A and B are shown apart, each in its own frame.
Chain A
C-alpha cells in the first residue's frame, strides 16, 4: 500500500485502515509504505509505474486530481494510469471566518468582499492545495477578489486565523471543529453540495447563494492501470464492505470524514469530473507550480 504522504496525516491513517482490513481479510500482510514528496506526486508516480500484478495498491487523494492542472511536469495521468477502486471518504471543509468579521452567512461575506475588493485575506495550506483551490473556486463563482496568504501547513494557518491576522479560510472540519466549538472561529458554510451530517444546521456554500459550488478533500484507493479486473473487484468488495459498516462510518466521522464506497466505475467518473473541475479553477485563477 503506497501512501504518498507522510505518516500521521489523514491519508496515512486512512491508508493504514484499508491495509489492515485487507490484511485481515486475505490473510497476507499488506504493508503500508509512506513515500511522501511533491504534494503526493512522487509516491503516486511510483504507483502508476508499478507492474499491474495486483501486488500494489495506492492511496489517491484530491491533490492528485489537482496536480495535472498546476504542475508543469507530472509523471502520471490520474485518469489513464490507474485502475480506480473506490472513493473511501469525503472530508468536507468548513468556510470559517474570524468572529469579529461582521458577516453571518455566505451572502453577507460576498457582499462585504465585493465592497472591499482585494482587502479581505484568506489562508491556505499552500499554493495548489485543496484549501487554496476551494477558495479560488469560491472567488471565481462568487465574483469576488480576496488576497491569498499561503502557509506551510494547516496548523500555522489556523493559528493566524484565530488571532485575527487572516479573516477567513476553508479548512477540513476535523481541523477547525474544536475552534468553532470554542467560539474562536465562526463557521459560515460547508463546502460540499450536501450538508455535513454532524452539523445539520450549517448551510452549504451553494445554499448560501454560490450556485453550483461543490468541493472537498477526499481519499481513495487505486491500483496501477492494467490490474486484472478480478483483482480490482476483489479489492473493491472488501473495502466496500468495510466502508458500509457502522463501525467504520463512526470511526471516520470522528475524523471529520464521510465514508463512501462507490463502485470503481462511479469512482472513475468522479475522478474525471474532479480533474476537469480543478483544471477550470486553476486556469481561471492562473495557479501554476514548478
Chain B
C-alpha cells in the first residue's frame, strides 16, 4: 500500500519505505530550495547594507561628538539589522539542512528531526492519544510566484482539560497541493489504523 502511494509523490519531498510494522516517511534535506533561497536572499539583503553602514559608522580614532554619534547609530541600527539578516540566513540554512523522519505503526507515530545528521528533536504520539490528523497550510512557505499552498500534517491529541491543551506533532510537511497532502494523510491513517472520520 505504502509503496504504490509513494510512486506518485516526488522523492525530493518525501520517500515512503515500508517497515515490518508500518511505514517510514523520510522528508529529506533540500526539499524546499526555493523557499530557503528566498529566505537567504532576504537575509543577505539585510546584511549587505548593514555591513556597508557598519563600515561607514565605525568611528575613527576620535572621542568627539561625531564619534559618539557614529557609535550610537552603529549599535542602534546597523548591528541589529546585521543580526536580523544573519537570523534569516541561519533560517535558510536550517530549511535546507533539516530532515524529518516519521515512523508510523499501529502503536504510535514517532518523529525525529535531523540537522546535518544530528538528531535535533524526537517526539512520539501513541495511537490511542491521537484525536485527529489535521492539515495546515504552512503560510510561511507560500510564494508570490506560486499560488499552490504547501501543507503540513499535524497529529493532535485529545484535550483532557482546558488546563492541559492538546499536544501537536508534525507528522508530514512540505506537501505541495491538496492531492499530495490527501495522499500522505491517507497513507498515515491506513498504517496507524485510524479512520478518516476520526480525523
Contact = CB atoms under 8 A, between A and B. Distances in A.
B105 A194 contact: yes
Given A200-B192, A200-B193, A258 B3 contact: no
Given A195-B21, A195-B193, A260-B20, 16 more contacts: A90-B20, A192-B21, A194-B105, A195-B107, A195-B127, A197-B106, A197-B191, A200-B192, A204-B107, A207-B107, A244-B3, A246-B1, A246-B2, A258-B21, A259-B20, A260-B19
Given A200-B192, A200-B193, A245-B3, A194 B17 contact: no
A196 B191 CA distance: 11
5 contacts: A195-B127, A200-B127, A244-B17, A246-B1, A246-B4
A201 B194 CA distance: 10
Nearest to B191: A197
B43 interface: no
4 A-B pairs with least C-beta separation: A200-B193, A195-B106, A200-B106, A194-B21
Contacts of B22: 194, 197
B33 interface: no
Contact of A194 (B2, B106, B194): B106
Contacts of A89: 20
A218 B4 CA distance: 26
A131 to B, nearest CB: 20
A259 to B, nearest CB: 7
Nearest to B192: A200
B177 interface: no
B41 to A, nearest CB: 40
B107 to A, nearest CB: 4
Contacts of A207: 107
B107 A259 contact: no
Contacts of A199: 106
B1 A196 contact: no
A33 B55 CA distance: 81
Contacts of A246: 1-4, 18
Chain B contact residues, majority secondary structure: mixed
Interface in B125-168: 127
Given A90-B20, A244-B18, A259-B18, A201 B107 contact: no
Given A194-B106, A194-B107, A200-B193, A249 B18 contact: yes
Contacts of B194: 200
Contact of B20 (A201, A245, A258): A258
Interface string A64-94: 0000000000000000000000010110000
B189 to A, nearest CB: 11
A92 to B, nearest CB: 9
Interface in A89-127: 89-90
Contacts of A244: 3, 17-18
Nearest to A202: B106
Nearest to A204: B107
A55 to B, nearest CB: 29
A197 B107 CA distance: 9
A139 to B, nearest CB: 24
Nearest to B194: A200
B147 to A, nearest CB: 34
Interface in B161-199: 191-194
Contacts of A90: 20
Contacts of A245: 3
Contacts of B193: 195, 197, 200-201
Interface string A254-290: 0000111000000000000000000000000000000
Contacts of B18: 244, 246, 249, 259
Candidate in A194, A199, A249, A258 with the most chain B CB atoms within 10 angstroms: A194
Nearest to B193: A200
A207 B22 CA distance: 18
A211 B196 CA distance: 31
